[in-house]
Chains A and B, each alone.
Chain A
C-alpha cells in the first residue's frame, strides 16, 4: 500500500456478502423463527370495488389455534407516506381485489390461512374503474370520495376532490403556447402500459412484538426502517424512541420494499394478542396481488423544433396509475414531472402529471421512480421525431442534449458538478453498439437485425432534509466496525461504504467490518435506502466519520508520539509523522486509548461519527414547479440490438449496452453488475411483464407460472457496461448515485430497436410478439 494515490476506491473489491450468499448461508427474515411466535395471515377482498356490508368471522373463529381476528373496525383510519388515504385493513369500502379485509392470528401459519379462507364478507358491488384512461374521464366512478380531506404528510401533493386524481403536479417553464405556435415541425404521440410486479426473489415479511414496557420491536424486509418508526408514531401514536426496527439483509427489493404495508398489519395483529410476537409473511401470490406493485402509465408527449432542429417546446401529460391508493405513486407523479423532458434542453415546457386512482392493486416506488416510464415515452417520441425530420436519431439527440448552464424543467441550474456528460455517454454507446445509421439489416432467412438507443437522466428526489449518518468504531486490534442504516438489498452498498471508509482511513478494506443488519436503536438515522441516494448520502457520512476518527487518532497519537497533531497523518494502520513516516505508532495501540508504560492511559476508544444532509433542496412551486428538487443528475445512454423473426414475430435480444456517467465509480465490478441487473430488469419488464386484468379488475397472472419474467438464458448474449466518470465535487470521491440507472433506458431502447425492425411504431408494453403482430396488422392490412 502506498500513500497518496487511491488504493481501494476505483478497484473491483469482492463484495463483502459474496461468500455468505454464494454458500447459501444468509438467513433472510422469513427463515427466522422465534420461540412462542404466532402467525398472521390476511383475508383479502374478492371484489375490486365494493362497499363492505358485513364481515362474518364466526366460521374463522372455529378453526383450531386462532387467537385473534382483526378487521378494519379496529383501526378505521387511513395511513400513507405522502397522502394518508389507505386504511391498513379495509373498512367501509374495498378498492382492489386482494386488499386486506381482516388479519387472523393463529398458532401456526396453516391455521391462520385456513381461517382466512373462512372469513365471509358481504359486499355491495360498485362500478369498477379498470384503467387509468377510464379513471381520468369526467363521469368515472369515484374511488375516494373524501380525497380532499386526507392528511398530507409531505409537500407537493395536490388531490383534486370529486375526481380520481390523487395529485396533480404542474411544470410551467417559459411560454409553451407561444413557442408551440412558431415551431417548424411538431410531433405528438401517446404511450401506455399496465401495472406490473417487482418480483423480488424474497417475498415480503414483517414481525412485530410489543413488550410489556411498551417498546415495539419490528423486524422487516424493508428499505425504510425510519419511515416505519415515523408511520408508527404518526398513526399509532407511539413514541419514536419506543419503536425499534431491525432490517436484515434483503433478497432484492427494487423499490417495492420501500412501502410500509406489512408492518402496520403485524402491529395491529400483535396488539390483538397482547403484544405477542407475530409474524406476517407473504406468499408469492400475496406478494403479487396484495402488496404494492409497479405503477402503470399513460403519457402523451408533444415536441416541437425550430428551423435548426432544436427542441423549443415540449408538452407532457402523464397519467401515473397509482391503483387503489396513492402511496409512492404520488411522489412518482412529482418525480416524473420534474424530469419530464429527459436530458434535453427545452426552453418552453408544459407538463401535467396526474396521479390516478384505479381499482387495481396500489403501486409504490419501483427502481427508477417514474423514469423508466417517462423515458419510454420520451425516447420513443425522440426516435419518431428524428424520423419525421429525417435526421439520424443519435444526431438529433446530440443536437438537443442538455448541458451545464442550461436549466431543468423546474428551472434548476445545471453545473459541471451536478450533471454528468450525457453527450459523451451517447457517443460512447453509439460506438459500442456499432451504430450504422437507422437501418435494419435483413438476412436471407427473414431475420431482421436492428438497433435502438435511449438517452436518460434522473435526479435523486429525496426529501429536502434527507440525510444519513455513519459510525466508525475502532476495535482493540485497530480494525474498524462501520455502522449505518443503509440497507443491503443486493446492490452492494455495504461494500461501497467499506471502500469509502478504507480509502479515507488508508486502511485495507478487509479491516473494515460492516454491520449488515440495521437496528434503529444504535444505527444513526438515514432517510431510506432508495432513490440511488445511499452512496452519496451515506458515503459522505462515512467520510465525515472517518475525518472525525482521524482527528481523534491524531490527538491521541500526538500524545504518544510527543508531537503536535498537525505533524501527524494516519494511514496503513498507523499514526505517523508526515515528515518522517517511519516514526509512528500502530493504530491498535491507540484504538482504545494510549497506555503509557506505567499503565496510565489517555484518550479512549476512537469512535468516528459523521452525518450528511442534503444541501439547499427546495419543494416545487405549486403552479410552475419552480424549485431545486434534487442534488444532481446522473445521465446515461443505453443501446440494444435485436434480431426479429419476420415470420413468427418473435425476437431475441442480442446485445445490450449501458454507458453511464455517475461520477467517480467506487467499485467498477459491483457498478457494472448493478447496471447489468438494471438492464435485465428493464428488458424483462419491457418484454413480458405486465399484470393482465379481467373485466372484474382481477389479475389473471398473479403467479410466476403465468407472469412472464425474463428467464436465465434469455438475457442478451453480450452485455456491455462502461462508465464515463465526470466527478461530482461534493460526492464521496466524486461519486454520484448509480443504483437505479441501469433500468431506465432499457424499455425505450428495446422498443426503438423493435419499432425499427418491424417498421411500425410500438407504443405499448409489454413488447410481445402478439403486440407486434396486432400493431402491424392495424398498420398494413386494416380490416
Chain B
C-alpha cells in the first residue's frame, strides 16, 4: 500500500495534461506522469519514490494509439507490452518486449513506462535504438521530435512527457535477432539483452543489462561490421570496447556478463550465417 496521499488526474488531451502539470508544479508539488503504473506503484509502496500529484496518460488518444500513419508506425507511449506483442506490427519489438516481466504484468506495463523506467534495463528501447526511431515528447515548449537515443541516458525536461515513438515502415521488417539471458528464471532482469538487425548489409546492435543504461555504440558496431577480421576476434575486440563500467552485482558479476555477451554475439553470428 502507498503510505502517502496524492492527487490523481486523468486528462484527455495533451494540453490538459501539461496544464495540470504546470499548475500543480507551481504550487510547489512534486508531479509525476504515469502510464502502466506498475513501477510507480511498487516504488511508492517500497519507499523509493514520493509524489504529490500523478497525471495518468492513459486517457490521451495520442498516447494510446497504435497505427501506421503514412510511412511511419506510430506507437503511443501508453500502449501495453501485450498489445504490442499481439498486434505484431514490429516483430523485433514484439519479440523483445515479450521477455520483459511476466504475461500478467505485461497487461499493465506500457512501452512509455518501460522507456522512461527508473530501472536501468528498459529493454523496450533496444529495437528503437537500431531503427533510428523518433521519440515524440510534449512539454512546455510544445511538441518536439527527437532521436530515441536522447532518451537512453538523459532525462526529459521538467514537465515534458513522452507521447509517441515513430518507426519508419522500411525498418519494421528487416532481419533481426533478439536475445536475452537472465540469472536463472526467464522472468527476470537481463544479465545481457541485445537486439540487432541487418540493414543494407550492416549489423546494428543495442544492449541492455551490461551498463547502467541501455546503449547503442558506433564503435562496437564498427568492429562487428569489420569483415576483415574473423568472427571470434571481432567479438573479442567489440567486447574490449564496451563501456568500462560493466555492471557488477548479485544478478551477475562483471566477468560473467562479458562471458554471456561473448556467447550471445557468437550465437547471433550463427543466426546470421544460417540465414544467408
List A residues 669-716 near B (Cβ within 8 Å).
687-688, 692, 694, 700-701, 703, 705-706, 708-711, 713-714
B213-231 vs A, Cβ < 8 Å mask (1 yes, 0 no): 0000000000000000000
At the interface, yes or no: A123 with Cβ under 8 Å from chain B?
no
Query: Majority SS of interface residues in chain A?
Result: loop
Do the beta carbons of A770 and B183 come within 8 Å of each other?
yes
Do the beta carbons of B253 and A770 come within 8 Å of each other?
yes
The contact of B45 among A283, A701, A768, by CB within 8 Å, is A283
Do the beta carbons of B46 and A711 come within 8 Å of each other?
no
- A285-B46, A714-B186 known; A648 and B252 CB under 8 Å? no
| Bound Cα distance from A770 to B263, whole angstroms | 13
B25-58 vs A, Cβ < 8 Å mask (1 yes, 0 no): 0000000000000000010011100000000000
At the interface, yes or no: A309 with Cβ under 8 Å from chain B?
no
- A648-B263, A706-B189, A711-B102 known; A114 and B183 CB under 8 Å? no
On chain B, the residues within 8 Å of A769 by CB distance are: 181, 183-184
Do the beta carbons of B256 and A700 come within 8 Å of each other?
no
- A285-B46, A701-B250, A770-B253 known; A709 and B185 CB under 8 Å? yes
Q: Nearest A residue to B38 by beta-carbon distance?
A: A705
Do the beta carbons of B4 and A692 come within 8 Å of each other?
no
Q: How far is the CB of A199 from chain B (nearest CB, A)?
A: 12
Q: Give the size range of B's interface with the partner.
A: 20 to 34
Q: How far is the CB of A177 from chain B (nearest CB, A)?
A: 42
The contact of A768 among B102, B184, B186, B187, by CB within 8 Å, is B184
Do the beta carbons of A708 and B185 come within 8 Å of each other?
yes
Query: Majority SS of interface residues in chain B?
Result: loop
| Bound Cα distance from A62 to B46, whole angstroms | 21
- A110-B4, A114-B3 known; A714 and B183 CB under 8 Å? no
Q: Nearest A residue to B3 by beta-carbon distance?
A: A113
Interface centre among B184, B256, B259, by most chain A C-beta atoms within 10 angstroms, is B184
Do the beta carbons of A711 and B186 come within 8 Å of each other?
yes
At the interface, yes or no: B129 with Cβ under 8 Å from chain A?
no
On chain B, the residues within 8 Å of A650 by CB distance are: 181
On chain B, the residues within 8 Å of A117 by CB distance are: 3, 47
The contact of A688 among B185, B253, B256, B267, by CB within 8 Å, is B185
The contact of A114 among B4, B189, B259, by CB within 8 Å, is B4
- A710-B185, A711-B102, A770-B253 known; A648 and B260 CB under 8 Å? yes
- A110-B1, A117-B3, A692-B250 known; A708 and B263 CB under 8 Å? no
| Bound Cα distance from A708 to B256, whole angstroms | 18
List B residues 9-26 near A (Cβ within 8 Å).
none
Do the beta carbons of A647 and B263 come within 8 Å of each other?
yes
- A114-B3, A768-B183, A773-B259 known; A705 and B189 CB under 8 Å? yes
On chain A, the residues within 8 Å of B3 by CB distance are: 110-111, 113-114, 116-117
Q: Nearest A residue to B263 by beta-carbon distance?
A: A648
On chain B, the residues within 8 Å of A283 by CB distance are: 1, 45
- A648-B260, A700-B250, A773-B256 known; A713 and B2 CB under 8 Å? no
At the interface, yes or no: B249 with Cβ under 8 Å from chain A?
yes
On chain A, the residues within 8 Å of B256 by CB distance are: 770, 773-774
Do the beta carbons of B260 and A110 come within 8 Å of each other?
no
A548-583 vs B, Cβ < 8 Å mask (1 yes, 0 no): 000000000000000000000000000000000000
Do the beta carbons of B252 and A770 come within 8 Å of each other?
yes
Q: Nearest A residue to B250 by beta-carbon distance?
A: A692
Q: How far is the CB of A548 from chain B (nearest CB, A)?
A: 49
A contacts, CB < 8 Å to B:
109-111, 113-114, 116-117, 283, 285, 647-648, 650, 687-688, 692, 694, 700-701, 703, 705-706, 708-711, 713-714, 766, 768-770, 773-774
In the A-B complex, the 3 residue pairs with the closest CB atoms: A688-B184, A113-B3, A692-B250
Pairs across A and B, CB under 8 Å, 7 listed = A285-B46, A647-B263, A688-B184, A705-B42, A706-B188, A711-B102, A769-B184
